[in-house]
Structure 1
Amino acid sequence: MRRWTARNLVDLKVPMEVALSADGTKIAIVVSEPDWEAGEVWSHLWLWRDGELRQWTFGKERVSHPRFSPDGKWLAFLAQRSEPKDSTEPKAQLWLMPLSGGEPRAITDTDEGVTAFAWHPDGTAIWAVIPLPEPDEHKRVKDADRKRKRDYAFHDDELPRCVLWRFRMPDGDGERVFIGDAGIYEITLSPDGNRLIFATTQTGKRDNWRRSKLFWLALDRAEKTPNALCERAGGQFSPRPSPDGNLIAFLSWRNPERSFSHHRLFVADFEGNWREIASLPDLEVDELRWVRNGFCCLLQTGVTSQLWRLDEREAMPITDADGVITALDVTPDGNTFVAIRTDDQNPPDVWLGKDDGERVRWTKMSDFNPQVKSWQLPKAHLVQWRSDDGRAIEGVLWLASDEPRPSNPCPTVVWVHGGPKGRAMKAILSAMGFPAFLAANGYAVLAPNFRGSGGYSDAFATANFCDLGGGDFRDILAGVEWCISQSIADPHRIGIAGGSYGGYMTNWALAHSERFKAGVSLFGIALLFSDFGNSDNPSWEPDYLGGMPWEATDLYLHRSPFVYAHRIQAPLLLLHGENDRNTFVSNSQEMFTALKKLGRTVQFVRYPREGHGFREPYHRVDALERTLRWFDRWLKGDAFASAIPLGETATDDELQVCLRQMRYPVQWLNCQPSNGEKLVEATITLQGTQEGLRIALAKDIRLWDDEGREHPPLGTAQGEDENSFVVEGDLQVAVPKEQTLLLRLAFRLPSDRHPCALQVRSLPFRCLP
């Protein structure tokens, strides 16, 4: 079995969306995959039909929202595939592809892009939502002001209103039908095509998703006046018309005053009457579809997600209890299902379900990552413990082997999910793959579903209201003590990490317990006041803390990790995206500044272009490897405890590498050490396993010193002995497939530092035997 690396994980093809034709004979799949040369992630369209699965779109594009025409002859989808204009992200346009053969063609080419669309039930048209373009005169004035440097911008300016367009099929001729508000983000039509139902936040701004309401238009009337579907308080989402067109099913919060209360299933008629479907278990609904005599719902079930079929009286699961379903679609007759399923041993793949009258029988339809079969993967175990108040808590325990307990207590990392209404799942890519990756590299990883997590009852999901860092933190500590009592965790080698709310909890835990010897906080909260003031989602704090900062001042203050920074003694690594508008980068900056002033061990890494979470493949690899090295250093006593010894050959999916020699201090004809520096030369051999492989020195190679700092190569060393010189620059090296290439790399280090490890792509090597 092959060693599982960070690059292996990031290199996975991941199906994200599925759509099923009305007759159940065709499946459209959106699959994301990294482009290592461009440093980007693209998504492409795949199609399954006649027993064959093949890719239909290619290139530098991001496809989403595939939708078959009612007769199954056409496939519409959104795609960002034009070249960026003025260095901005290209907008999503509406595309149409004939399934009888031929190239897809663009139906729209608008400056603002398309935000939502739906087929007319008879297939004669596509309805689309397109924001109003900025008037040309406004653009000219702005451009002129920008050139004269007298430009300015309003913060949080109003967004353009949305226009409902009708495009006739298949020619694509369009006409404006209705101008709505700025927040329309989803549309659907009644089966007779006479009513269009839409969801809107009214403003289009992220913080207003809590105000999402459902409206409908009578398309058979000359005057298009929006009508509110019903007056139920709280957010309203995911409208789905019934087969007879008389009802709309939708999701809304169980407690209208708590945005983190469960999404529950409701139905309403066009007279404004509504009711909740009482047969649904006390679980969160992620997605819903109408099927024969009822509904098909995707429910959060503890550490898994399952499909359930229900009517007004009873509900029953139709998938096994051990997998995680991430997307679904169903034919109108309710007999054929398609789902994306994953678990701890299998990345996401597409499954087709057929109802034979007794049960739904599932067949795997894809194998996007066959290479996984050769990997040595960790195993996820469901575990339970009692918190300090007797509350039952579940979690996922990741271990390197199938055994439910390690042979000896081992270094352990607690991975805290975000939200806080996220959850730990038995899925290989859960929490961006961090728990599974750390477990594969020798750690026991406990991922707890503390109070406030999704996947359980509504009372459990809302149990941390006005208590962030309170009962949830005690649930986590109880899980740690359980791991120690079961001889899983070495009590002297326990770390904690997590993203978003998990980053908040990491900052909080290091200040409130000496149990943790190191932490990694990814885009976490430090000071609740400034997070409220900087976030594009400022309602998060009032939702969870019960008031505005000037109303619940003590709670904002005393539940902020920053206030307790002076208590933190354990080393802390902070990772944050520079463009994070949710948990603003100032959070990590504040923690770093405080700990630096206190003389604590802290590192702060900012990732350019990244938002709330890391998207670019090289950044994802770096975050995984950097986290592993941090815990190796502070929990194992060696930042490269698992590195490959000098002289041994290592292999990833594309490359064989061997570190042959490390020499220092050295000097070259055109490169002399300056004061306080020394020059280092590393000799490696490379051999590719495929044609056309290239190594980019600046991206793919790093030298790490004994303080954990990284150094990119200056270039390559050439020549012999006193005639040696350095070819400097951001070089790329072509790696031969069948021959061995010897490469001498040049580095600069501070004179008081020593080379510790050399990293070539995802393969770390120890510099000394």
Structure 2
Amino acid sequence: MRTTPFDSLDDYIALPRTESIAVSPGGSRVVLGVATLKKDGTGYDRALWEVAADDSDAPARRLTRSVKGESSAVYTADGDLLFLSARPDGDGADDDPAQLWLLPGAGGEARPVTRLAGGVSAIEAVAEASDVVIISAPLLPAAASIEDDARLRADRKKHKVSAILHESYPVRYWDHDLGPDQPHLFALHLSDLAEQVGVERADEDAADDVPAPYPASLPRPIDLTPHPGTVSGAHGVAVTPDGGTVIAALPAREGRDERARLVSIDVATGAHTIVRDEPGVDNEAPVIAHGFGTIAWVRAVKSTPAGPADQELWVSALDGTDARRVAAGWDRWPTAAAFASDDASLLVTADQDGRGPVFRVPLDGGAVQQLTDDDFTYSGLAVDRFSGEVVALRTNWMLPPHPVRLSNDGVTVLSSPVPLPDVPATMTEVSTVVEDGARVRGWLLLPEGATDAAPAPLLLWIHGGPLNSWNAWSWRWNPQLLVARGFAVLLPDPALSTGYGLEFIARGWNSWGAKPYTDLMAITDEVVARGDIDETRTAAMGGSFGGYMANWVAGHTDRFRAIVTHASLWALDQFAGTTDHSGYWQRIFTREAMLENSPHRFVGDIHTPLLVVHGDRDYRVPIGEGLRLWSELNEHFASEEGTSPHRFLYFPDENHWVLKPQHAVVWYQTVFAFLDQHVLDKEWARPDRIG
């Protein structure tokens, strides 16, 4: 049999990865963000590469090459390239946070645009016809200015103070503590970036408690949100082409929860005007037309236990007047939107039937048109206002993200410095009709050589979310690695999955253990009935919600020979109060359903060996879930000698996912060994790097 990069974990993690895309004014050039494995194999270096926007064979050109790497590239109106990097600028320290940098389009070295003590968090928006850039950056709440922020940070560092005083909820997010600083939006005028000969001399006579002045050669950031009053950032930011007005989806408190409201900010005066604010409703992800007279956004009523709310596309004038919903009969949830070059429609990506097509949504009330009709998911849509050029990243389970151009003639694959890897699988769509008449579908990845005479063992891999779809390549959850080891992998979309309409989501709402579980079992029944699948050798695996469902499966059937449960919810009442977003989780469940659908109630019914995996820096599903699961498994199943058929793989410094390359290798090695033992009847082989 042929070999592929997926036969070796070391080869797999060394595959280069395309992470982002941007298009130049005029549409002739495309910049890709590319990640490559560090020499020591413990992380990824990131650089920017330029390729042609047509289908020519022009070679890719590397634009950046710093040790710290570069990300988040976006073009200015003049064709210069902005990006974020923690590379030293000559005056900073090696551990300084990322700043905004500019690479001149006419040639020359990259230069820093900011020197903020807390760094720059993101490039939020760039004006299409002016020099204005909007960034987000953190300031300490007591800071009276950016200089004062630098002084306060230096004082905390000098006295080694790490304490954070919270005055509102939440206190942490995903894998990091929130605070003590708060996110601000700043405007910069790039024309204020001055060329300087020599360096700015420090005032040697200045007192230690007097903040140093912000460098005069850099554009002074204009604070557009001087009193954010929250540790949460904006839910989307857009700026008019002339750079005069920012439309931001800013958080507003609702008890311990919050809603997103649209706010218009005058860049010159800093004045705020509410554009759209509705209690119990999120208005977010704004985009502004190229002619700047129209805005579009996503409106979502907050869901309750009664059912999921729709994700609606709305448009209005810049001041919020003439607000109306578009595509009202289109039952799909937008994942991103951008105005077409003529402003007459929106280009929208959305999950649909196990794919993620690009759609055209007319603003005049016309029917939604699907522009791509293939087995791919699209992301990173970038539209050039002058040429109408549309570029994006495209992916499915057979191909990782790669750059493409969309036109009336179809989809053209662009040149790239990242070669597409050879994969071991074939991809087949499978489906079944369940008891209530719903169609449940998924992707089945099959290894070479799987036949009726030599059927393959099956791994049921359950997606997270749960508002999600198995429709795009994942470097973290990659079934090709299992296929290379002879497994067939089933990637189903059960109830609660996106891309099938609101009713399909509602089938599993407030009842995670009901339709989602029976859907999974039904499509597994469909697949194991195939001659090329060995129904006697099956396993199940999932992470996050998929881990929840793996736990639920373990307590409700013994059909699988092994189950891997990663970052899993175990006791829902405990989880709902300890996750980083308690308001949401307690809002979507009734107390009765939370208990009824909690996997921990069925620990005594587990007959299948479990591999439990959890990271200590997981704040979305806190480590307490994994610890309680492991404790209760041992309470019920450990022998007098303390041995157990179950295993617990613990990562002290990983989050909800396992992202460090060396740890990803250990994760897969342990999963392979566990499946080999219980599904393939091999001896247990403890991975070497576990110790």
- Fold in common (TM above 0.5): yes
Does residue 124 (structure 1) correspond to residue 131 (structure 2)? The answer is yes
For residue 215 of structure 1, report the CA deviation from its aligned partner: 0.7
Instruction: Say which of 293, 316, 332 aligns to 1:268.
Output: 316
Kept in 2, the 8 Å contact 1:296–1:308? The answer is yes
CA distance in 2, matches of 1:543, 1:99: 49
For residue 32 of structure 1, report the CA deviation from its aligned partner: 2.1
Alignment of 1:122-521 (within 5 A): 122-133=129-140, 135=149, 139=153, 142=156, 146=160, 152-154=163-165, 156=171, 159-160=181-182, 162-169=184-191, 170-171=193-194, 172-178=218-224, 179-181=226-228, 182=230, 183-185=232-234, 186-202=236-252, 211-219=259-267, 222=269, 224-231=271-278, 233-253=280-300, 261-269=309-317, 270-278=319-327, 281-291=330-340, 292=342, 293-311=344-362, 312-333=365-386, 335-354=388-407, 359-370=408-419, 372=421, 375-401=422-448, 407-425=453-471, 427=472, 429-430=473-474, 432-521=476-565
Counterpart position of 1:78: 84
In structure 2, the residue corresponding to 1:304 is in which secondary structure? coil
Counterpart position of 1:527: 571
In structure 1, the residue corresponding to 2:538 is in which secondary structure? strand
What is the TM-score with the length of structure 1 in the denominator? Answer: 0.75
CA distance in 2, matches of 1:538, 1:89: 33
Q: Which runs of 4+ in 1 moved over 6 A?
A: 85-89
In structure 1, the residue corresponding to 2:332 is in which secondary structure? coil
RMSD, aligned CA: 3.1
Identity of aligned residues (%): 21
Structure with more strand by fraction: 1
Distance 1:402 1:253, change over 3 A: farther
Amino acid of the residue matched to residue 162 of structure 1?
Answer: H
In structure 2, the residue corresponding to 1:393 is in which secondary structure? strand
CA distance in 2, matches of 1:402, 1:421: 34
For residue 490 of structure 1, report the CA deviation from its aligned partner: 2.8
Stretch of structure 1 that moved more, 284-293 or 28-37: 28-37
What is the TM-score with the length of structure 2 in the denominator? Answer: 0.83
Kept in 2, the 8 Å contact 1:344–1:379? The answer is no
Does residue 709 (structure 1) correspond to residue 686 (structure 2)? The answer is yes
CA distance in 2, matches of 1:406, 1:11: 35
For residue 176 of structure 1, report the CA deviation from its aligned partner: 2.5
Distance 1:557 1:279, change over 3 A: closer
CA distance in 2, matches of 1:636, 1:180: 60
For residue 449 of structure 1, report the CA deviation from its aligned partner: 0.3
For residue 345 of structure 1, report the CA deviation from its aligned partner: 3.0
Kept in 1, the 8 Å contact 2:670–2:686? The answer is no
Kept in 2, the 8 Å contact 1:231–1:272? The answer is no
Q: For residues 290-330 of structure 1, what are the alpha-carbon distances to aligned partners after superposition, in whole Å with 9 as ceiling and x for unaligned?
A: 11221111121221111112312022222232222132111
Does residue 33 (structure 1) correspond to residue 36 (structure 2)? The answer is yes
Kept in 2, the 8 Å contact 1:229–1:268? The answer is no
Instruction: Say which of 75, 97, 101 aligns to 1:68.
Output: 75
Counterpart position of 1:760: none
CA distance in 2, matches of 1:248, 1:7: 47
Distance 1:160 1:80, change over 3 A: same
In structure 2, the residue corresponding to 1:43 is in which secondary structure? strand
CA distance in 2, matches of 1:280, 1:440: 43
Kept in 2, the 8 Å contact 1:40–1:617? The answer is yes
CA distance in 2, matches of 1:32, 1:636: 35
Q: For residues 386-429 of structure 1, what are the alpha-carbon distances to aligned partners after superposition, in whole Å with 9 as ceiling and x for unaligned?
A: 223332101111101398x654443211100000111112x4x3
Stretch of structure 1 that moved more, 413-422 or 601-610: 601-610
In structure 1, the residue corresponding to 2:612 is in which secondary structure? strand
Counterpart position of 2:10: 7
CA distance in 1, matches of 2:309, 2:93: 40
Aligned length: 624
CA distance in 1, matches of 2:463, 2:219: 47
In structure 2, the residue corresponding to 1:517 is in which secondary structure? coil
CA distance in 1, matches of 2:301, 2:387: 27
In structure 2, the residue corresponding to 1:301 is in which secondary structure? coil
CA distance in 1, matches of 2:627, 2:360: 48
CA distance in 1, matches of 2:134, 2:689: 52
Q: Unaligned regions of 5+ residues in structure 1, if any?
A: 547-551, 640-706, 714-747, 749-769
CA distance in 1, matches of 2:577, 2:272: 37
For residue 376 of structure 1, report the CA deviation from its aligned partner: 4.9
Counterpart position of 1:683: none
Stretch of structure 1 that moved more, 500-509 or 291-300: 291-300
CA distance in 1, matches of 2:358, 2:454: 39
Q: Unaligned regions of 5+ residues in structure 2, if any?
A: 144-148, 172-178, 195-217, 639-643
Q: For residues 500-550 of structure 1, what are the alpha-carbon distances to aligned partners after superposition, in whole Å with 9 as ceiling and x for unaligned?
A: 11011111101111111111111111111222222112234224314xxxx
Q: For residues 589-643 of structure 1, what are the alpha-carbon distances to aligned partners after superposition, in whole Å with 9 as ceiling and x for unaligned?
A: 111111122224111112232111121111112212221221111011015xxxx
**More relative contact order, 1 or 2 (CA 8 Å, 6+ apart):** 2
Instruction: Say which of 548, 572, 586 aligns to 2:624.
Output: 586
Kept in 2, the 8 Å contact 1:9–1:433? The answer is no
CA distance in 2, matches of 1:112, 1:204: 28
CA distance in 2, matches of 1:486, 1:339: 37
Name the larger-Rg structure.
1
Counterpart position of 1:577: 615
